[in-house]
Structure 1
Amino acid sequence: MSSRSFRRRIAAATLLVIGGMPTGALAHPHIFVDAKFEAVAGADGSLGELRDTWRFDEVFSSSVLLDFDKNGNSKLEPAELTAVAKTVRKSLAQYDYYTKITINGKAIKLAEPDVMHATYEDGSLILSFTQKPAERTPLKGLMVFGVYDPSLYTALDFGSDADLKTSGDGFNRCTRKVVRPDSKQILAENQAMLTTLFFNDPMGSDYSQIVATRLEVRC
């Protein structure tokens, strides 16, 4: 599967999700991911890097196996896994790899991951990658870390608060909390605003950010 077809698959499915449906049915993911996130402090007290690990559901993982198993042995060999990782890395660049950071309300630009690693274990595709801030970013003020799909097509789930963590001495003086918004309550309170038009941008909407689980760190 090429990066173009990967993007086309996401776009087409997203249109099926958001096109012509009542608001209550719009936020309906088709890919499910068990996610882990770690923000790492650098030795100089700034934000060093972000580490993501995603385990995809078996249905999506099996479709990847069908697309990339070129030798037909029902396994993904190292070269095939490299092809998967390269395709996803290229495809998700336009979505900033589902990773958003703000410090005191200001968005922090992240460099693209140098490489994305892929494995296939127990019927699930697992991707891991690291991103670094494009510029030196001191650990100061309120930092909000969010990992979510703005198109609402992929659901990234953090099973426990421990799946969103910080590490490194620079974070020792900081407080942290995991925030899990109540999506049903948000929908009920904003029903008039959340129309089909609100969701018509395939690149995503503010709604996905509002309902996403996030890690808040104050230093």
Structure 2
Amino acid sequence: MQRQWLDRTGWLSSLLAGLVITAPAIAHPHVWVEASTQIVFDAAARVTGIRHTWIFDPAYSAYATMGFDMDRDGNADPDKLAELAESNLASLAETNYFTAVKVDGSPAALAPPEDYQASIASGRLILRFLLPLKTPIQPKELALHVGDPTFFTAFTLPQAADTAMLDGAPEACKASLNRPAESGSEDVKRLAQDISAALRGELDVPATVDSDPAGRITVICQQE
């Protein structure tokens, strides 16, 4: 991983400050992201790509952009932000950009990101990028999940009008956000309890998180 995306190794030893742990390592988020998504359609009613907007937590934002104010004018250098966007996305290729798409029950392959940029607003880093589908397809049903299965990065899909949007879709297509029964804060609380149990040696099996803790975006297109 690049410097800008926190190293996944060594987090437990830092967290526990040298304590010896005999229980299994517990997944623990280091980065929090508020994600919103547009599903992009073409004129033939085919899905052509997924446009993401990721807003990072203030602590990670400060870390990732440290030293970017080259002119000491209170603004990050545009060239540094461009390098940050490119290096972060390059490091995420192996994770499929934390994006899983199924169209009519079958996985849809994604091409490398396009139209990417990084910016800062209200002290928070914002990463925007487009993930094209390798093969555009006209869906009956599309399911989209954004998340890190290791829970190193905790994604949330806010209950907002722009969290799941359609761009250029026909009127027959509607998007919905299906949130988990357990909220993100409750999920993190449960993980903290598991870490505490591990410290006491009372956790016998590795902690797990819900397979879809952030929620899922579903698009249904009624066929004529």
Q: TM-score range by the shorter chain?
A: 0.7 to 0.9
Runs (4+) off by over 4 Å: 14-17, 19-23, 184-187
Structure 2 residues without counterparts, runs of 5 or longer: 195-203
Alignment correspondent of 1:203: none
Match of 1:9 among 4, 7, 10: 7
1:204 aligned residue = none
Q: 1:202 — aligned with what?
A: none
Would the alpha carbon gap of residues 181 and 69 (structure 1) be closer, same or farther in structure 2, given more than 3 Å must change? same
- The alignment yields a C-alpha RMSD, in angstroms, of 3.2
Residue 42 of structure 1: how far off its partner (Å): 1.0
Cα distance in 1 between the residues matched to 2:55 and 2:22 = 29
Alignment partners' CA distance in 2, 1:161 and 1:70 = 32
TM-score for both structures, normalised by structure 1: 0.76
1:10/1:153 contact within 8 Å kept = yes
Q: 1:182–1:211: 8 Å Cα contact kept in structure 2?
A: no
Using the alignment, how far apart are the partners of 2:210 and 2:106 within structure 1? 18
- 1:24-43 equivalent positions in 2, closer than 5 A: 26-43=26-43
Is contact 1:41–1:49 with CA below 8 Å preserved after alignment? yes
2:218 pairs with 1:216: yes
2:127 paired with 1:117: no
Q: How many angstroms apart in 2 are the aligned matches of 1:56 and 1:216? A: 24
Matched, 1:104 2:104: yes
Contact 2:69 2:75 in 1 (8 A): no
Superposition deviation, residue 167 in structure 1: 2.7
Q: How does 1:88-167 map to 2 (within 5 A)?
A: 88-140=88-140, 142-162=141-161, 163-167=163-167
Aligned to 2:205: 195
Q: Is the 8 A contact 2:4 2:84 kept in 1?
A: no
TM-score, normalization: structure 2? 0.75
Q: Structure 1 pair 65/169, CA: closer, same or farther in 2 (3 Å)?
A: closer
Identify if the C-alpha distance between structure 1 residues 56 and 96 changes in structure 2 by more than 3 Å, giving closer, same or farther: same
Partner of 1:50: 50
Q: Which residue number corresponds to residue 176 of structure 1?
A: 175
Counterpart-to-counterpart distance in 1, 2:56 and 2:6: 19
1:95 and 1:213 mapped to 2: Cα distance? 18
Match of 1:10, SS state, is coil
Structure 1: state its 5+ residue gaps.
Answer: 200-206
Of all paired residues, the percent bearing the same amino acid is 24
Shift of the 69–7 alpha-carbon distance from structure 1 to 2, 3 Å rule, reads closer
Count matched residues.
199
Letter in 2 for 1:144: A
Any conservation in 2 of the 1:149–1:155 contact (CA below 8 Å)?
yes
